[in-house]
Chains A and B, each alone.
Chain A
Amino acid sequence: MTPDILLGRLDASALPWHEITEAENRLQLLSGIVGLAAALLAVVAALAVAAILTRRRGWGPLWRDWATSLDHKKIGIMYVVVAFAMLARGVAEAAVMRLQQALGADGGGILTPDHFGQLFSTHGTIMIFFVAMPFLTGLINFVMPMQIGARDVSFPLLNSVSLGLTVAGAALVMISLVIQPFSTGGWSGYPPFTEISFQPGAGPDYWIWAVTLSSLGSTLSGINFTVTIYKERCEGMRLMRMPMFCWTSLCTSILMIFAMPPLTVATGLLALDRYLGFHVFTNDGGGNVMLFANLFWLFGHPEVYILILPAFGVWSEVFSTFSGKGIYGYFTLVLATMCIAVLSFTVWVHHFFTMGQSADLNAVFGIATMTISIPTGVKIYDWMLTMYRGRVRITVPMVYAVGFLFLFVLGGMSGVLLANPSIDFQVHNTLFLVAHFHNMLIPGTLFGMIAGYTLWFPKAFGFRLDDRWGYRAAGLWIVGFILAFFPLYLLGLMGMPRRLVGFFEEGWLPLTLAALAGAGCIVLAVIALGVQLAVSIRRREALAVPVGDPWDGRSLEWALPAPAPEWNFPTDPVVNGRDAFMQLKRQGGHLDRPEGGFGDIRVPRESAIGPIVAVAGTAAGFALTWYIWWLAALSVAVIVGAMIARGFVRDAWRTIPAATVEAHWTAWRALADATPRVRRSDELRPANRGHAVPAAEERST
């Protein structure tokens, strides 16, 4: 078959009903219906969003106020929106997979092996690259510049481009739901299975371009955040005075700079194999498959800590804020963070203990792996000691935090077991492993991200999230997690392999059913999060916290109104120590009227480059996947042309006049003075308008 000039190798077999029309038995028919339903759901959701935007005349504001905005806070919010949208799909897929494994006894179920393979591939790819990564990038984007007293990140346009690349990758995965198929090679895409000789179709190419686009975006974000933390801190904000979240952001960003390139090399070389017949990872022609494992996990293991460190930062803020105490052992937490970041590069071989290297090498990497539990343990103790003799309030973020402490330690234990190569040989590629990494990533990363979302939501939108639905969601997440993944530990020990489409071992059935119930709880938890958002928006008047400090916060972002103005700080703040805002409050107030008066503020002007990269990037990925060469060339030309044109732009800044800043500040200050302060015991009541009685004062009265 020669590819069409116009459409490449795209033909009717890529349409979502193809599996149904070609079905030869009941299973294939069912599987096709599941696929078609998912595709329809995606299309209907996209059309619904478009319809709502059109009816509410939202396209203009969406373009002007959001898509082209270079404000770090808005870019951060858009990252989180992408993460939540993709989370909905990732969790839905997880539920379908659990359903398949529960019904899969005696080879039953609802999915063909090929369809199941696509599901676990998209699920892993989505959860890592398009849920966890955008979520943490969004939180860092939103919070970190405010915490260090900066006006924006160092490179606002680059920030928008990074978002554009991430959106392009996510869009590509979503398109693959409708224009099928996706790869069946798992999220790690191991060759030779992803080579052209085993999967000649478009699937692995979707995976390659989605992952490559998003990893380029992450590399650029890492550079941007690192430079921001080194260069944009306000006066007096020494490194050792930064909030813990900034420290973990810094270490994560440095990891991104060094750990994303190995992934880009791996996917790039795989693309050369697939497109140009190279022999890098092939079985024949002198290729070397192990090279992919090395490159991929040289990225993949640090990636685990890219995912977990920002959550550690959130936990530090949550424990300290809701215990009304400064963080315990600040210095050791910083040190532990740095140790984890460095050690994360020294353990990657534990991902292929069973692939034939010498026992000595395995021993070295096994010991290195176990070492990471030491700084992690230090952190756990620091957090517990932060709560010790504090005035702990069990708010929604704290529920997640306490759930995290218990569950994460258990997950860590299973990790120490796996770090022993001889045990690893036993449970290798079983559900034990699946249970372990979900145990790290759900209570670790995802709970942390949701806690951070709950914590900082009022700063972004000016009102708190409804806490009743928040507790419900948190409870469902914790119960659902326990039910869904603890059975998998047992199933793994009983020998059930991962990624299994069906089984003939009756003894496994009760546990797969329990896991299915857990998946159901998690689906309910995600729904509860949606309900929480809807309820909160409806009650936004009662939940409003315009003064901006709803939780008696300790770091600088809480000194700003909620929502924070585009320019963040009216004048550059000056910091004298750790917990900068708490110190200010002890001295009796918020940020005082600037001594030198207000000045004009320069903010970056809106730019269309980010959205152009998003659209052209998606088009390029799609075109390369389907061999539509003219479109690929056109999209790349558009991106290069846009970059060259941008070089000619000279008025990239716009000025906010001092009068505007002063008027905004004066109005806010008047509001703060008129708003009664609220004690911590009332922080979940409508009385909380964001004007907190500081902890020190509250204790003395």
Chain B
Amino acid sequence: MNTRHPGLNLGAHHGAADDAAEVEIFGFWVFMMSDAVLFGLLMATYVSFLGATHGGPGPQTLFDLRSITVQTVLLLTSSLTMGLAQLAMKHEEGTRRIVVWLLVSLGLGGAFLALEMHDFLSMIDKGGVPQASGFLSAYWALVPLHGLHVASAGLWMLAILGQMAWYGVDDGVKTGLLRLGVLWHFLDVVWIGIFTIVFVGGLA
């Protein structure tokens, strides 16, 4: 059997779980493609609504590019630490190292969400509520959906940490972490799209 799969290969071929990983990771990528269509359409919607501020506040008054940049750095760093967690798993550097890197990723993801929430609240303060205009509706349909994905991925990570506490780093945990990694990096890619189109594009 082929031991290569579209995730992080965990060393030499290790039986049925490895064969299953091939299919599971590929399936998860296909799922991500479908999710990418979702985000792509919402981004297109946002672009088509850029002018529809309907007398409400626009990007200039609402967006805080400095905060967005910090969020971007936090999220991208969490991808790096997620990668380090997976490398620790690949090189069997012990459960502790994996857990530490996972918790760092979770912390960075949490910080990203906290900062995003702060931005949302300050937008609401300035009258940037979704009910104000088509433009803001498109914004609020897209950006919080990404945040929701990040929060779900965080919940998933907690579930996997629970599995690790229960079973150690067994096959189930390994394939789970490989798929979570795919989702985590995918959400980065989506964020880069949002950063470019929504924030930089909106302010341009």
Q: Report which A residues bind B (CB closer than 8 A).
A: 154-155, 219, 222-224, 226-227, 230-232, 257-258, 260-262, 264-265, 268-269, 272-273, 276-280, 285-288, 291, 295, 298, 640, 644, 647-648, 650
Most buried by A among B38, B53, B135, B170: B38
B22, B35, B49: the one within 8 Å of A286 (CB):
B49
Q: Which residues on B sit within 8 Å (CB–CB) of A155?
A: 27
A276–B131 Cα gap in the complex (Å)? 8
Q: Min CB distance, B57 to chain A, in Å? A: 12
Q: Please, which residue of chain A has its CB at the minimum distance from the CB of B45?
A: A291
Give every chain A residue within 8 A of B56 (Cβ-Cβ): 286
State the CA gap A650–B172 with chains docked (Å): 7
Binary interface encoding of chain B residues 156-190 relative to chain A, with 1 for a CB under 8 A from any of its CBs, else 0: 00011011001100101000100000000000000
Contact B159 A647 (CB under 8 A): yes
| Interchain CB contact under 8 A, B34 and A260 | yes
Residues B27 and A272 in contact, CB atoms below 8 Å apart: no
Distance to closest chain A CB from B103 (angstroms): 18
Per the bound structure, the CA–CA distance linking A589 and B30 in Å amounts to 39
- Collect the chain B residues with CB atoms within 8 Å of residue A262's CB: 37, 41
Contact A261 B34 (CB under 8 A): yes
Taking a contact as CB atoms under 8 Å apart, the answer to whether B134 and A287 are in contact is: yes
Which residue of chain A lies nearest to B31 when distances are taken between CB atoms in the complex? A223
Which residues of chain A are near B30, meaning CB under 8 Å?
Answer: 223, 226-227, 257
What are 12 A-B pairs at a CB distance below 8 A? Answer: A219-B34, A231-B22, A232-B23, A262-B37, A265-B42, A269-B45, A278-B141, A280-B134, A288-B48, A295-B45, A644-B155, A650-B167
A260–B37 alpha-carbon span in the complex (Å) = 9
Report the 8 A-B pairs with minimum CB-CB distance, sorted nearest first.
A286-B134, A286-B54, A286-B52, A278-B137, A261-B37, A227-B27, A277-B131, A286-B133
Secondary structure call for the B interface: helix
Q: Does B26 contact A (CB under 8 A)?
A: yes
Instruction: Compute the total of residue contacts between A and B using a CB distance below 8 Å.
Output: 112
Nearest CB in chain A to that of B131: its residue: A277
Of all chain A residues, the one with the shortest Cβ separation from B32 is: A223
Range class of the B interface residue count: 35 or more
The answer, yes or no, to whether B113 is at the interface (CB within 8 Å) is no
Chain B residue at smallest Cβ distance from A602:
B16
Task: Give the chain B neighbours of A280 by CB distance below 8 A.
Answer: 45, 134, 137-138, 141
Q: Which A residues touch B49, using CB under 8 A?
A: 286, 288
A-side contacts of B27, CB under 8 Å: 154-155, 223-224, 227
Task: Give per-residue flags for B118-157: 1 if the beta carbon is below 8 A from chain A beta carbons, else 0.
Answer: 0000000000001111111110110000000000000100
Chain B residues with CB below 8 A from A291, complex form: 45, 48
What chain A residues lie within 8 Å of B22 (beta carbons)?
231
Chain B residues with Cβ below 8 Å from A644 are 155, 159, 162
A196 to B16 Cα, complex, angstroms: 53
B65 lies within 8 A of chain A by Cβ: no
Complex Cα distance A231/B23, Å? 7
Q: Which residues of chain B are near A222, meaning CB under 8 Å? A: 34
Taking a contact as CB atoms under 8 Å apart, the answer to whether A264 and B131 are in contact is no
Bound: A224/B24 CA distance, A = 10
On whether the beta carbons of A647 and B160 are closer than 8 Å, the reply is: yes
- Min CB distance B46 to A, Å, is 11
| Distance to closest chain A CB from B45 (angstroms) | 6
Write the nearest CB–CB distance from B175 to chain A, whole angstroms.
11
Inter-subunit contact B163/A647 (CB<8 Å): yes
- CB of A276 within 8 A of CB of B130, answer yes
* CA–CA, A195 and B131, complex, Å: 14
Query: What are the residues of chain B within 8 A of A224 when measuring CB–CB?
Result: 27
How far is the CB of B41 from the nearest CB of chain A, in Å? 5
**A650-B134 Cα distance, complex, nearest whole Å:** 48
Q: Does B141 lie within 8 Å of A154, measured CB to CB?
A: no
| Smallest CB gap from A230: residue in B | B26
- Find A279's partner among B26, B48, B133, B167 (CB 8 Å cutoff): B133
The answer to whether B166 touches A286 (Cβ under 8 A) is no
Contact B131 A231 (CB under 8 A): no
Query: For B22, B131, B137, B162, which residue has the most chain A Cβ atoms within 10 angstroms?
Result: B137
**When the two chains form their complex, are residues A269 and B141 in contact, meaning their CB atoms are under 8 A apart?**
yes
Of A261, A273, A276, A287, which contacts B38 at CB under 8 A? Answer: A261
B33 within 8 A of partner (CB)? yes
* Chain B residue at smallest Cβ distance from A284: B54
Taken together as a complex, chains A and B put the C-alpha atoms of A258 and B23 apart, in Å, by 20
Are the CB atoms of B23 and A285 closer together than 8 Å?
no
Residues on A with C-beta less than 8 A from B23 are: 154, 227, 231-232
Residue of A261, A278, A285 touching B41 (CB-CB under 8 A): A261
Q: A279 and B137: CB pair below 8 A?
A: yes
